[in-house]
Amino acid sequence: MSARRPGAYLLGGVSRLGSVSIFFVRLLIQCVPALGRPRLLMLQIYNAGARSLIIIMLSGLFVGMVLGLQGYDLLRRFGSEEALGIAAALGLLRELAPVITALLFAGRAGTALASEIGLMRATDQLTAMEIMAVDPLRYVAAPRFLGGVIAMPLLTAIFSVIGLYGAQLVGVQMMGVDRGVFWSQTQGAVYLHDVNEGLLKSFVFGIACSLIAVHEGYHAEPTAEGVGLATTRTVVAASVITLLLDYVLTAVFL
Amino acid sequence: MTSTASVQAASAAHTGDVVVAVRDVHYAAGGRSIFAGLDLEVRRGRITAIMGPSGTGKTTLLRLITRQVAPSGGQVTVFGKDLADCGRREVYAIRRRMGLLFQNGALLTDMDVFENVAFPVREHTDLPEPLVRLLVLTKLQAVGLRGAATLMPGELSGGMARRVALARAIVMDPEILLYDEPFVGLDPISLGFILRLIKHMNQALGITSVVVSHDVQELATIADDSYLISEGRVAAAGTPAQLKASDSAAVRQFMTGSAEGPVPFHYPAPDYAGQLLEADER
């Protein structure tokens, strides 16, 4: 029994990966017609993006402020407080903004997506569409997936800007680092490829988190428990995959 | 009562009129056999009632006809096409000629009543907006809910939701309309209205109707053909009058709604007294 278990887990994992991959391909095919429905797409960008704005902005501000405090304390030991801007900007742009935005996205927009689609499954709405010869993958899943993929880099950019402002708030306004030095050093040391790295990461995280949320919701058991399970799985899987992908992407970029 | 075989023989002359044919279908779900050699057919322009006790697979039959699930054995033919040979596109093409009224309405919750009814029209046609509006309002008027066009599904009662779902099901003028328990939870006025509507759509528009229900008395007033399903097969078939006059104890029990008879009311269980005593000993 115990000898079979790892095998069964492995088989289950491979089967799940296969199911997600097939779903991803089908979803990508349906994304083409979904792009031709700007109204539906805008609504989903609004749901996934605009509705996550407050939590992203607040988190960005606090993360930036903590970064300012910690960075200042660390750099002061080496007499390099002026480098606070560089440390904060690079840390935010390349690492913290895409990762934390993705984790927050999984917790807010991802769960909303999974539970919404799961409830549509539980209340026969997806079946009703299938009976009306409307592919729910095209009408429901693809616009939501695309909405998440488009919203993630935008949210990441906003997180970075607010975070940098938070770091500046602490470093310059509270700790007394020179404003001119803070911004000029930041401007001089941050290159376009640093910005691109963060944006590319956020794009990949957007694909992963949205795919997981849509897949879990779409395949949720049509019961209250099933929808709850799909929501939990979305947060857990999206968070773990985000951190895993972050390591892989960082290793590729360095 | 007429036996299944004789009904099939009698209807053989109408083979061209058969819109849905279910032949020797076997289907199991969750390790439990639902159908074990089910045979029935639905003829064009007629109202066919599918009756049977709860849990006999009436809704599953609709799922088989609409190809939401596939049988493990046998054949389901719709509009002369074996569904097993149909790809996704063909199944969708067949579904466009059908309408299904869900038990719970299954309205899309992020749209109001008007948009719900307009949904299939917008998805499948390029009709100009004034025409879509005309079409939707006509169907809403037919189900008595033109005034509720701007309400959201959450603001509707169960009966109203089902009437909106009916308007949505008929908006594309389907050739077959499948009703899944259309009378459950309706007040007497709505019930009478839905009965008349099913009959009217059948007579005036020639829509073939399949009504799945266990409301025997209501069905008897409108059905042309009836099937009584029990234990995975057709237990009896014929007109409602023939079923009522059946000499089979099981059919009579169902048609009269008696708890006493060969059809058990209780789900299979161990001995009642024994189980109670066993609980006491614990």
Whether B146 and B184 share a structural domain: no
Under-70 pLDDT residues of chain A: 1-4
User: Are residues B256 and B169 part of one domain?
Assistant: no
DSSP classification of residue B267: P
Comparing CB atoms, the residue among A120, A127, A135 nearest residue B68 is A127
Higher local confidence (pLDDT), B8 or A189: A189
Question: Hey, are the CB atoms on B68 and A139 less than 8 Å from each other?
Answer: no
Question: Taking 50 as the threshold, does the pLDDT of residue B7 lie above it?
Answer: no
Do B205 and B237 lie in one domain? The reply is: yes
The reply to whether residue A128 touches residue B95, judged by beta carbons under 8 angstroms, is: no
Task: Report pLDDT for B220.
Answer: 82
- Per-residue pLDDT at B280: 65
Domain boundary residue among B121, B148, B173?
Answer: B173
* Cβ contact A125:B109 at 8 Å: yes
DSSP string, B118-175: HHHHHHH----HHHHHHHHHHHHHHTT-GGGTT--GGGS-HHHHHHHHHHHHHTT--S
The answer to whether A30 and A142 are in contact (CB under 8 A) is yes
The CATH number linked to B12 is 3.40.50.300
CA distance B176 to B155: 29
d(CA A158, CA A173): 21
For B56, the domain range is 4-97+176-281
Asked whether residue B213 falls in the same domain as residue B277, the answer is yes
Interface of chain B against chain A, CB under 8 Å? 66, 68, 92-93, 95-96, 98, 100, 102, 104, 106-109, 119-120, 123-124, 165, 168
* B146-193 pLDDT tens trace: 999 999 999 998 888 988 999 999 999 899 999 998 888 778 888 888
The pLDDT of residue B190: 80
Average pLDDT over residues B69-75: 91
Confidence of residue B4 (pLDDT cuts 50, 70, 90): very low
Q: Tell whether B182 and B83 lie within a shared domain.
A: yes
Residue A228: per-residue pLDDT? 94
CB B52 within 8 A of CB B234: no
DSSP B24: E
pTM, whole model, 2 decimals?
0.83
Is there a single domain that holds both residue B134 and residue B274?
Answer: no
pLDDT at B162: 87
Is B122 exposed, middle or buried (CB count within 10 Å of its CB: 0-12, 13-18, 19+)?
middle
Q: How many structural domains does chain B have?
A: 2
Is the domain of B71 the same as that of B201?
yes
Whether B153 and B70 map to the same domain: the answer is no
